[in-house]
Amino acid sequence: MIHPGALRVLADAFNEAKERTQLMITTHSPYLLDLFDPDSIRVVSQDEHGTVVDRVSEKQLSIVRDRLMTLPEIMVLDGLRGEGR
């Protein structure tokens, strides 16, 4: 658990590193999620065939783009859904 106030420094370091290399971060933290472009977020789930990595559903991204809710709010209240679900 990282203090929410320190997450900005961590997110800045991640964004700097992604310019040089491919970077994958996993989190359950809505605080960290809020520091990245919603289009760069992927939803990881498991189905009968194994692990599925998918874009956030267009419906949820549309809610964020229309500024009705933030992605962290959706994550906490409803859970993030992949495009294929």
Among the listed residues 25, 29, 52, the one whose alpha carbon sits nearest the alpha carbon of residue 41: 25
pLDDT of residue 84: 77
pLDDT band for position 5 (cuts 50, 70, 90): confident
At 57, the amino acid letter reads: S
CA contacts within 13 A on the Cβ side of 84? 10
Give per-residue pLDDT as tens, 14-54: 999 989 999 999 988 898 999 999 999 999 999 899 999 99
Structure tokens belonging to residue 11: 């997110």
- Are the beta carbons of 19 and 60 closer than 8 angstroms? no
Structure tokens belonging to residue 29: 């933290």
The phi, psi pair for 19, rounded to 5°, reads -75, -20
Give dist(CA 14, CA 54) in Å, integer. Answer: 21
